[in-house]
């Protein structure tokens, strides 16, 4: 069976990664394109909108953030 150039390139790349001590994993994450996901994000955001604890936490994060070198 003849391997395509792209297949061989991917094989070499993966071999180098393994030699560097890395291993491939499969990671499942929420599908952000799903309307149910977007609605749940909106629902949670609405619940936090006027929450005093959330506002306090956001103020703390803003103070603690080190943004000096960000452009």
pLDDT score of 44: 96
Model pTM? 0.54
The total number of structural domains in the chain stands at 1
Does residue 4 belong to any structural domain of this protein?
Answer: no
Residue 51 lies in a domain: yes
Q: Per-residue pLDDT for 3 more than 80? A: no
DSSP state of 32: T
Look at residue 39 and tell me if it is in a domain: yes
In sign, the C-alpha dihedral spanning 21, 26, 30, 34 is positive
Residue range of the domain that includes 49: 29-65
Instruction: Tell me the pLDDT tens digit for each residue of 29-70.
Output: 999 999 999 999 999 999 999 999 999 999 999 999 988 888
User: Which pLDDT belongs to residue 66?
Assistant: 86
Q: Does residue 6 fall inside a structural domain?
A: no
- pLDDT > 70? residue 1: no
């Amino acid at each position: 069976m003849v391997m395509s150039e792209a297949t061989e390139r991917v094989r070499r790349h993966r071999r180098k990664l393994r030699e560097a001590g890395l291993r491939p994993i499969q990671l499942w994450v929420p599908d952000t394109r799903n309307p149910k996901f977007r609605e749940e994000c909106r629902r949670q955001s609405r619940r936090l909108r006027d929450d005093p604890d959330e506002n306090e936490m956001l103020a703390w994060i803003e103070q603690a953030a080190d943004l000096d070198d960000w452009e």
